[in-house]
Amino acid sequence: MVESTQSEFVTIVSNDGFEFIIPRSAACVSGALRRSLDPSSKFPEGISGRCELGEFSGVVVEKICEYFCYNEKHKDQVNVPDMDIPPELCLELLMAADFLDT
């Protein structure tokens, strides 16, 4: 899946300018990101490897990226521990989950 031209990492940018560099495989947990980051889709995100989430602030995007890594890490585990989510981010993360299709 990872082509030679493709970098191993992608950059997720929040609407207030925070950049999060995460493994491409982790970002592909999200259906929306997977499709937009696919180089064959000819989206600008796919070519540059830089994806801007213009609707979410840095705090939320940080949590999203944390979830990506959490998902990546526990993908094949049987007993998955709960991820800690602060209550104030719950609703925004629900919206983000809908947006990111994850």
Partner 1 sequence: MKFTAIIASLCLAAVPFVAAEETVTSTATTTITKTLVRVSSVTPTPSSGASSSVVPSTSMSMTSIPLSRAASTAATSAVAAATSTGAAANIGAGMPAALAVAGYIVVMNPNEPGRAPQPTRLNLRTEIAMDSEIPLPPPRRIRHRSPAKNPSATGAAFSSFQRAQRLSRFDDRSSQPSSDPALFSSDDIPASGLENYHATMSGAGRKRRYRGTWWGEQVLDPKRKRADFKDKRNVDSGVWMGSDESGAESLLPSEDGSAWGEDLRKSVLDPKKSGSSAPFAFEAENMATQTRVVFRSPEESDAHRFAREVVSDCLDKGHESIDLGDFHLGTIPSGLLRPLQHLTKLPTVREAPVSENVFTSLQPFLHIYLPNNSLSTLHNDLFELSNLKVLSLRNNKLTEIPSTIRRLTALEVLNLSVNQLTYLPWEILKLMQQGELKHLTVRPNPFHLIEEAQIAEWHYKPNNKTESETDEDTSPPLQFQEQESSPNEGWTPLHVATGPITCMDMEGNPMGEALSRNKLTLTPSGLTPSVNNAPSLREVALRAVSKLPYLEQTTDEELAEYPALIVPLLQRAREVRAAGGQPCSVCQREYVIPRTEWMEWWDFTPCENGMKMPRCPGEKLRPLPFRRVGCSLSCVPGSR
> Which residues in this chain contact partner 1 in the complex, by CB under 8 A?
29-30, 64, 67, 70-71, 73-80, 82-83, 85-87, 89-91, 93-98, 100-102
| Least distance to partner 1, CB of residue 2, Å | 15
Cβ-based nearer residue to partner 1, 21 or 97: 97
Alpha-carbon span 41 to 88, nearest angstrom: 35
Cβ-based nearer residue to partner 1, 47 or 83: 83
Alpha-carbon span 101 to 96, nearest angstrom: 8
| Least distance to partner 1, CB of residue 61, Å | 12
Cβ-based nearer residue to partner 1, 5 or 82: 82
Cβ-based nearer residue to partner 1, 21 or 94: 94
Q: Which amino acid is at 5?
A: T
User: E strands, 15-97, where?
Assistant: 19-23, 50-53
91 contact partners, CB below 8 Å, separation of at least 6? none
Given a contact cutoff of 8 angstroms between Cβ atoms, the answer to whether 53 and 14 are in contact is yes
| Least distance to partner 1, CB of residue 42, Å | 24
